[in-house]
């Protein structure tokens, strides 16, 4: 099924059993830019709605983890703010962290969603039960995924998938009702 356009209804069916969402960071939670100043400080921009989507997933009982090839204190800080406790940095072979997460949470690979953007993400996109790439991912990476977001990395793509997962699990109406209370 991967690499082919799958109808939304089929994707919703696949997504309804997701228990673990794993995210790449640079290019997914950020737009891929890394800003360094003369003192060695690193700056990254995160989209606030992506963060709120992650918080809603965690509240709904879906585990969220980060796997990134780089190390950054900024990533640790943002993860802490969002309530993400599983952070794997300097993961040059992301499969190692992926296997640890699958084992730790005792989930089948079919119950894992992964969002990536670059060729280093292809192995996890091929393993995860629900594989997603951001709109501005490389074409070769898009070919390995079930779904490509409408939004770009760092520009709301993660929120798009958080909402998709919550809708697939039948939780969206309850969330809207909760926020609609006066």
Mean of the per-residue pLDDT values of the chain: 94
pLDDT reported for residue 179: 87
pLDDT reported for residue 2: 47
Residue 17 has pLDDT above 90, yes or no: yes
Q: How sure is the predictor about 138, in pLDDT bands with cuts at 50, 70 and 90?
A: very high
53-96 pLDDT, tens digit each? 999 999 999 999 999 999 999 999 999 999 999 999 999 999 99
Helix (H, G, I), strand (E, B) or coil at 63: strand
25-59 pLDDT, tens digit each? 999 999 999 999 999 889 999 999 999 999 999 99
Domain ranges across the chain: 17-130
pLDDT reported for residue 6: 60
pLDDT reported for residue 114: 98
Q: Which CATH architecture has domain 17-130?
A: 3-Layer(aba) Sandwich (3.40)
Q: Are strands 35-36 and 42-43 parallel, antiparallel or unpaired?
A: antiparallel
- Whether pTM exceeds 0.75: yes
Q: How sure is the predictor about 4, in pLDDT bands with cuts at 50, 70 and 90?
A: very low
């Amino acid at each position: 099924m991967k690499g082919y356009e799958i109808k939304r209804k089929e994707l919703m069916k696949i997504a309804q059993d997701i228990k673990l969402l794993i995210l790449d960071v640079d290019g997914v939670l950020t737009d891929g830019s890394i800003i360094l100043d003369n003192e060695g400080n690193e700056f990254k921009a995160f989209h606030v709605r992506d963060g709120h989507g992650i918080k809603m997933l965690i509240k709904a009982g879906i585990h969220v983890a980060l796997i990134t090839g780089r190390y950054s204190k900024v990533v640790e800080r943002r993860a802490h703010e969002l309530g993400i406790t599983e952070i794997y940095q300097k993961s040059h072979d992301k499969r190692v962290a992926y296997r640890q997460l699958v084992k730790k949470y005792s989930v089948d690979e079919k119950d894992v969603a992964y969002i990536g953007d670059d060729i280093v993400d292809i192995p996890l996109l091929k393993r995860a039960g629900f594989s997603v790439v951001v709109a501005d991912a490389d074409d070769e990476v898009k070919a390995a995924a079930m779904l490509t977001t409408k939004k770009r990395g760092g520009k709301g793509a993660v929120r798009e998938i958080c909402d998709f997962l919550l809708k697939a699990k039948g939780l969206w109406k309850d969330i809207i009702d909760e926020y609609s209370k006066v």
